[in-house]
Amino acid sequence: MALILPVKDINPQFGKNCFLAPNATICGDVIMGDDCSVWFNAVVRGDVNSIRIGNKVNIQDGAVIHCTYQNLPAGQAGTKVNLGNNVSVGHNAIVHGCTVHDNVLIGMGAIVMDNVEIGSNTIIAAGAVVTEGTKVPSGCIFAGVPAKKVKDISEELISGEINRIANNYLMYSGWFK
């Protein structure tokens, strides 16, 4: 059974038909939509600020979702995490204090830093580092260190990668229920 912990009397909340791997950790102010999955050794840590996760989101093995403390000194703001619908967070990715809109694939080992905003229908390539405050436009592929736009995304990549992976993870989670 997944490790689900309250923080300051706030319990994570889960939508319908979610799969939580036995060694996944979800704690604090986390609200997850329907048809989501949190895979082996993944951590979703809503201890210092809130994490909101849409529908049909998969957080793959070893990924970490976290934020920045909400009670920083004057003039500084903590960061929250907001993940839209149909988002895949690849193996060992780090998603920290950012907003990710609908239909996004964050590749394996990618790092997405505080105050980043990723537009819909976008791929963040494996190993990319999206630096703090970057605004990633909709409909493109970002890659590299630091990550930059490498090209516009084709309809084939939206259906063949973003949607295929999200749908596959929904299917995979059914194998464990």
76 or 132, greater pLDDT: 132
Contact 119/98 with Cβ under 8 angstroms? no
Q: Return the exposure string of 81-120: e unless at least 16 CB atoms fall within 10 Å of the residue's CB, then b.
A: bbbbbbbbbbbbbbbbbbbbbbbbbbbbbbbbbbbbbbbb
Which of these ranges, 34-48, 79-93, 146-160, has the smallest mean pLDDT?
A: 146-160
Residue 96 confidence (pLDDT) above 90: yes
Give the per-residue pLDDT at 143.
98
Structural domains in the chain, CATH included, are: 3-175 (2.160.10.10)
Give the per-residue pLDDT at 121.
97
- The whole-number average pLDDT for the span 109-118 is 98
Contact 53/32 with Cβ under 8 angstroms? yes
Residue with tokens 């490498």: 150
- Does pTM surpass 0.85? yes
- The whole-number average pLDDT for the span 146-164 is 93
